[in-house]
């Protein structure tokens, strides 16, 4: 039984006429309805195809295999990147899979870390004031 009557909102009366004792039963029925509409309902805006048929025919948006196999890294652009991080109980912050010591006096606080890629420098601001600055290996 397809709960779609062909007009907009045609399935709503049938869906709402039933009384569902559990939220899981309603969720299961809605999932079944969605699957049915996506696999069996033909839509004019998709050229007379169902949503599922349209997705299958649409070209893939993935990169071609040649570009995926490149192992050399892209060059790093010059600029600034700002991060907001919370200081760990040990006085560290974590950026880009690296850990940086900030100091235990700032534990639990949020700090602003500005990474300057052109100068390879990391600057830490706590409560708007400069807390620490230093070079970083990129």
> By C-alpha distance, which of 49, 52, 58 is closest to 39?
52
Say how far apart CA 6 and CA 103 lie, in whole Å: 66
Q: Mean pLDDT per segment of 10 residues, for the chain of length 138 residues? A: 50 71 86 81 84 78 63 78 93 90 91 92 90 83
Can you give the pLDDT at residue 2? 47
- pLDDT the model gives residue 1: 42
Q: Helix (H, G, I), strand (E, B), or coil: what is residue 94?
A: strand
Burial 30-42 (b: 16+ CB within 10 A, else e): eeebeeebeeeee
């Amino acid at each position: 039984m397809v709960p779609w009557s062909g007009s907009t909102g045609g399935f709503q009366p049938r869906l709402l006429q039933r009384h569902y004792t559990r939220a899981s039963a309603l969720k299961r029925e809605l999932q079944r309805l969605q699957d049915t509409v996506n696999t069996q309902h033909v839509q004019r805006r998709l050229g007379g195809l169902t949503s599922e048929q349209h997705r299958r025919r649409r070209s893939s948006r993935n990169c071609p295999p040649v570009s995926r196999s490149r192992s050399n890294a892209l060059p790093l652009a010059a600029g600034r990147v700002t991060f907001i991080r919370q200081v760990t109980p040990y006085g560290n912050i974590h950026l880009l899979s690296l850990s940086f010591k900030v100091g235990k006096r700032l534990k639990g606080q949020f700090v602003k870390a500005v990474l300057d890629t052109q100068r390879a420098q990391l600057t830490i601001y706590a409560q708007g004031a400069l807390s620490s600055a230093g070079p970083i290996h990129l």
